[in-house]
Amino acid sequence: MNDPFATHDILNQSPPFENVNLFTCDRALMDAVGREGGDQAVKRLAAFGQICGSAEGFQRQRLANENPPKLRPFDSKGFRLDTVEFHPAYHECMELSVAEGLHCSAWDHLAKPGAKPVPGANVVRSAGTYMAIQMEAGHQCPITMTNAAVPTLLLEPELASWWIPKILSRQYDKSFTPAAAKSGVTIGMGMTEKQGGTDVRANTTRAIPAGNGGPGAEYLITGHKWFMSAPMCDAFLVLAQAPGGLSCFIMPRILPDGTVNGLRFQRLKDKLGNRSNASAEVEFQAAHAWLISEEGRGVPAIIEMVTCTRLDCAVGSAGLMRLALANAIHHCRHRTVFQKHLVDQPLMSQVLADLALDVEAATALSFRLARSFDRASDPNAAAWRRMMTPVTKYWVCKIGPALAYEAMECLGGNGYVEDGIAARLYRELPVNAIWEGSGNVMALDLLRVLQREAETVEIVLDDLAAAVGGDAHLKAQLERVRAMLHEPRLLDRRGRDLAEALALLAAGTILRAHAPTAVADAFMGTRLSGGPRQTYGQNLDWAQTRAIVERAFPG
Ligand SMILES: Cc1cc2nc3c(=O)[nH]c(=O)nc-3n(C[C@H](O)[C@H](O)[C@H](O)COP(=O)(O)OP(=O)(O)OC[C@H]3O[C@@H](n4cnc5c(N)ncnc54)[C@H](O)[C@@H]3O)c2cc1C
């Protein structure tokens, strides 16, 4: 104040959102982990939540996104390099996530021949993913793909026995050396081509057997991929047309003899969000790769991987939505407008509570899905996994961007500038809906279940019917779902309606059984009452909004 040129004191700004334990401050997450079978890991998750929500954690997010990866196609003398350089903050995030086992822990049992899956492993891993993505989203791409590659690799036991022990390591080894010499590896995926991503059967990339061909054999692959993220992964699961049809291969970056494989990177995408992650356009010039499963079985082989990534899309979106919400509540608790904290202004209280309802539902639904991955040998869980993966991925990823926008608005102008996290979250969230099966593709996948797997549908509907209990809104919603199923126009027109109706029904049953009454009542009264809903913060004047906000992020 002694400075004669000081124009003002800084007042009424919220303190930075940092040093928040992303596990212990998140009641919905802790409840979901406990409920779905991850109780044994609570201590470890709390320790990881501290790391992810620390000031250093959020600093990594900022640095890794403000300094996006750079492609280095050539060295100074014109020799090919085909490498990508990342900011150290990105590598730190990778180190933390790999040390936590987020790239593999669901498969730890594979280290011991004949061992059974660890109970709750997918739920625990999902909780780690939910928090790591809040620390930094882009690095989760290779983490997710590495975990998801395992079930596809398992289809080819000899290849699996070489790659999986490397995947199960907890060491992040960023060196550009042959996988055999590395202490740990990551795996990416190359499906999408210029002429089609959804329609992979239109792939033009060709695979020619190097010898006799067949499962596990070496092929030479020539063609391109239009999106291939995390290009510094040690290998990629790739689709290409072999003589016997579309097939799945594993393509290492560096060959066992130390030669760099024929992957020529053209450029990196200039993306809306997800900027810390590199997404490359690449050409394969007789790149060496090894066949997984039979020729012509490429889609069934890679679908194993895709299914696992869809779980992570839902869990990841729920995590990002959670961060957007917590950041908004934090700001509104500290910001005063017209002599009252924003959080206490009736309209803002409704907006925050309304956002919290979607986050609670998205979290509940995503972790319910994670549990079904843990119990894949149980027919009920397998049915849930099959039918509710597209439903959950569809709904959770689809509501994320709108939620991030409204959460950003809670911060006013501060939300719109790049210094904070709200703008980054807003740009990040759409990608989870677009990749790994966009909205319509998820709806079509659900319709495929209806057309081909009557027993699966029956099991899931029986499960939901049993959970509806005496709740009038849930009963009515179940009837709506049943009516849609008997509607002949449904099969090609109403996939989105049905996916959303099922998601709301399933989320509603979980909230009614397990969430506080204030949350469950408000969810049913707004999402299942049939009333109009275009934006957040409407029709909640009767609800206990303070209690909902307090549960979402205790003050
Ligand atoms: C940041 C980023 C990273 C990516 N990383 C990778 C990667 O590492 N590896 C990889 O293989 N791919 C990657 N992708 C590609 C991504 O998976 C595809 O973009 C996605 O699958 C959609 O394919 P497409 O872009 O060809 O769109 P299209 O297949 O042309 O689809 C366009 C739209 O049409 C809709 N649609 C498709 N079929 C139908 C139908 N029958 N009826 C109605 N609507 C339909 C889709 O839902 C979509 O909305 C990445 C994409 C992004 C944005």
Q: Which pTM value belongs to this model? A: 0.98
Nearest CA to ligand 1 atom 5: 229
| d(CA 434, ligand 1 centre) in Å | 6
| d(CA 200, ligand 1 centre) in Å | 10
C-alpha to C-alpha distance for 156 and 133, rounded to whole angstroms: 31
pLDDT score for 376: 81
Q: Based on the number of CB atoms within 10 Å of its own CB, is 162 exposed (0-12), middle (13-18) or buried (19 or more)?
A: middle
Alpha helices in 335-378 (DSSP H): 346-374
Instruction: Spell out the residues 6+ positions from residue 14 whose beta carbon is closer than 8 angstroms to its own.
Output: 330, 331, 333, 334, 335
pLDDT score for 1: 59
Structure tokens belonging to residue 43: 């201590």
Structure tokens belonging to residue 19: 């040093």
Q: Which atom of ligand 1 is nearest to the CA of 196?
A: 26
C-alpha to C-alpha distance for 95 and 88, rounded to whole angstroms: 10
pLDDT score for 522: 98
| Cα–Cα nearest to 323, from 15, 23, 13 | 23
Instruction: Spell out the residues 6+ positions from residue 286 whose beta carbon is closer than 8 angstroms to its own.
Output: 220, 221, 222, 262
Asked whether the beta carbons of 151 and 187 are under 8 A apart, the reply is: no
Q: Out of 434, 444, 448, give the residue to mutate to test ligand 1, the one with the largest number of ligand atoms within 8 Å of its CB.
A: 434
| Cα–Cα nearest to 352, from 400, 401, 408 | 408
C-alpha to C-alpha distance for 398 and 395, rounded to whole angstroms: 5
Would you tell me how many other CB atoms lie within 10 Å of the CB of residue 187?
Answer: 27
Structure tokens belonging to residue 437: 């099966």
Nearest CA to ligand 1 atom 51: 435
Instruction: Spell out the residues 6+ positions from residue 493 whose beta carbon is closer than 8 angstroms to its own.
Output: none
With a 6 Å cutoff on the Cβ, whether 227 touches ligand 1 is yes
Q: Out of 435, 446, 447, give the residue to mutate to test ligand 1, the one with the largest number of ligand atoms within 8 Å of its CB.
A: 435
| Positions in the chain short of pLDDT 50 | none
C-alpha to C-alpha distance for 201 and 199, rounded to whole angstroms: 5
Q: What is the 3-state secondary structure (H, E, C) of 24-84?
A: CCCHHHHHHHHHHCCHHHHHHHHHHHHHHCCHHHHHHHHHHHHCCCEEEEECCCCCEEEEE
C-alpha to C-alpha distance for 56 and 42, rounded to whole angstroms: 22
Nearest CA to ligand 1 atom 31: 198
362-407 confidence digits (pLDDT tens): 999 999 999 999 998 899 999 999 999 999 999 999 999 999 999 9
Q: Where are the beta strands (DSSP E) in 464-531?
A: none
Nearest CA to ligand 1 atom 23: 197
Classify residue 363 as left (phi > 0), alpha (psi -120 to 50) or beta: alpha
Q: Out of 227, 428, 448, give the residue to mutate to test ligand 1, the one with the largest number of ligand atoms within 8 Å of its CB.
A: 227
| d(CA 365, ligand 1 centre) in Å | 24
Q: Out of 440, 444, 447, 492, give the residue to mutate to test ligand 1, the one with the largest number of ligand atoms within 8 Å of its CB.
A: 440
Nearest CA to ligand 1 atom 22: 197
Structure tokens belonging to residue 230: 């995390």
Nearest CA to ligand 1 atom 25: 197
Under DSSP, is residue 493 helix (H, G, I), strand (E, B) or coil?
helix
pLDDT score for 532: 81
Residue with tokens 């010499």: 181
Under DSSP, is residue 225 helix (H, G, I), strand (E, B) or coil?
strand
Structure tokens belonging to residue 357: 């309802």
C-alpha to C-alpha distance for 437 and 393, rounded to whole angstroms: 9
274-326 confidence digits (pLDDT tens): 999 999 999 999 999 999 999 999 999 999 999 999 999 999 999 999 999 99
